Structure formats: structure tokens, C-alpha cells
Amino acid sequence: MSKRNSAVKVLVVDDQPFIVEELCEFLESRGYRSVACGSSHQAIERFNEDPDIGLVLCDLHMPGLDGIQLVLELQRLSGKHRAFEAIMLTGHADKQDVIKALRAGFADYYQKPIDLRELLEGLQRQELVLQERHKALQLGHLQYLSESIEDLYQDLDKVRRTPLSSGSGESGDEAVSEADRVEIPAIFNQLSPRQLDVARLVGKGLTNYQIACELGITENTVKLYVSQVLRLTHMHNRTQLALALSPSGSGLRQRVTAH
């Protein structure tokens, strides 16, 4: 099988040193950089230290933290900003253990003694999966950055226009904007234009999906804006927010404004 060089590192974890040595030698001969670990605690340290680790090969039954507990801890440490794929190695293929491991986040498993050719093919498949996950993470970061920059420009535009709206020579459009601003509780004036757009659409009874379609943003971004609006206005839920923005919610508005 031809050797290839991979940019991703493989974390190899097993409490039996000869297995770790054999796997690392094999992976290195096939173009993978490997990180050898004899325990789960050592694996956690290496994973934290080396962001290039993206594939994890680990034994299921180990002293201290077992393979499932290890992967769950690595998932917790990774959060939403780091991706990895894990493959389980086990000498005892108990069906319930395998099911539990797959539910915990393992992508695949191999029974010892391991067929190294099959393992290599499995690693290559998971490397492709990892590449797609990295692309999704990068797109998510770019989208968030783009929306943040757009909000910044809108906020700057709001600040630039504010002195003009207080002058005596208001145009019809400016007068309407001023009237719209007076119609809502004063506490809403601290919101950015995008946050206010989301708040108004929530007030109209639109779902997150409908708001996302209306504003051309993702549904997850809408959820983020709704959470920010509720926090900034000291409201507890969407219903309270909708009432504060409705014509009949004057009593609630007074209480919100005086909060």
C-alpha cells in the first residue's frame, strides 16, 4: 500500500505499551504522525497541548478513565471549536459496550488482534470526515465574522445618523423613524439595528425559522440574537418580549422601561 503524508496527527492510547508501539510504527510507516499514550490522563494532556491531533485510536478497557470516558472528556474540551474523530479498539467485543461507545461519539471500532490494513482504511475514511467537519467549522466562523462586521457597520451608521434626527429640519422619513422609536420602550433603544429587527419580528409572532428567512441569516444566528435581546432588555421569554412591543402592552412597557 503506497505511503501518503497526512496533516492530521493520530493519538494512540492503550495501557499495553507493545500495542501502542506497534500501532505508532505502523502509522508512521503509512504517513501519519502519531502521539503515543499509555493512559487516558496522559492522552488528555497531549490532546490539549497539540491542536494537530484530529484522530484518536483508543482501547476501550483501561485503568482509570476507560475509552468511553476519555472520548467524552475530549469532546468536552473540544467544545464547538475543535473537531476530532475517534476509533475504538477492544479485545472484548461485548455488543452493549460497542453500542454505548458508538452512542458516546466513537465513529468506528475494531476488535483485537487488529487487522492493520482494515484499520488504515478506517482511519482514511475518518480523515475525510474530519476534513468536512473542519470546512463546516471554518464556514461557521466566517459567517459569524461577516455578520458581526455587518452589525458593526449598522451600529456605526446609527451613531452617525443620531445627531441629524434631533435637528429642526427633519425629513418625512426621519420623522417616521423617530415616531417608530418612541413607540417602543426606551430600554429597546440600546439594541443594535439587527437586534431591533429581530425583536420586532418576534413581536409579530414569527418563528426563528421565519425570522431567518426574512433577514437572510441562519436560524442559529437568530437564536443568538433573541438571547441577546432578552438579556439586554431583562425579559424572561419571547412572550414577554412580544407583549412589550404590542400596542396593547403599555402597562408592561412602563414596567420594562422603569426596570
11 touches 36 (CB < 8 A): no
What confidence score (pLDDT) does residue 49 get?
95
How does DSSP assign 186-241, residue by residue? GGGGGS-HHHHHHHHHHHTT--HHHHHHHHTS-HHHHHHHHHHHHHHTT--SHHHH
Q: Are β-strands 33-37 and 108-111 bridged in parallel, bridged antiparallel, or unpaired?
A: unpaired
Angle, CA 174 vertex, CA 170 and CA 175 arms, to 5°: 75
Exposure letters 241-255 (e unless 16+ CB within 10 A, then b) = bbbbbeeebeebbee
pLDDT of residue 93: 66
What size, in residues, is the chain?
259
Q: Within a 13 Å sphere around the CA of 5, how many CA atoms are in the beta-carbon half? A: 0
Give the model's pLDDT for residue 240: 83
- Order of strands, sheet of 33-37, starting from the edge strand that comes earlier in the sequence: 33-37, 9-13, 53-59, 85-90, 108-111
Q: What pLDDT does 81 receive?
A: 82
What is the pLDDT at residue 162? 56
Q: Distance between CA 231 and CA 259 in Å, rounded?
A: 13
pLDDT in tens, the chain (259 residues): 445 688 899 999 999 999 999 999 999 999 999 999 999 999 999 999 999 999 999 999 999 999 999 999 999 999 888 899 999 999 876 788 888 998 899 999 899 999 999 999 999 999 999 988 878 777 665 565 666 666 666 666 666 555 544 444 444 444 334 444 445 677 788 888 888 888 889 888 898 889 988 887 877 778 878 888 888 888 888 888 888 877 655 444 444 444 4
Task: Tell me how far apart the alpha carbons of residues 154 and 151 are, in angstroms, rounded to a whole number.
Answer: 5
What is the grid cell recorded at 39? 493512559
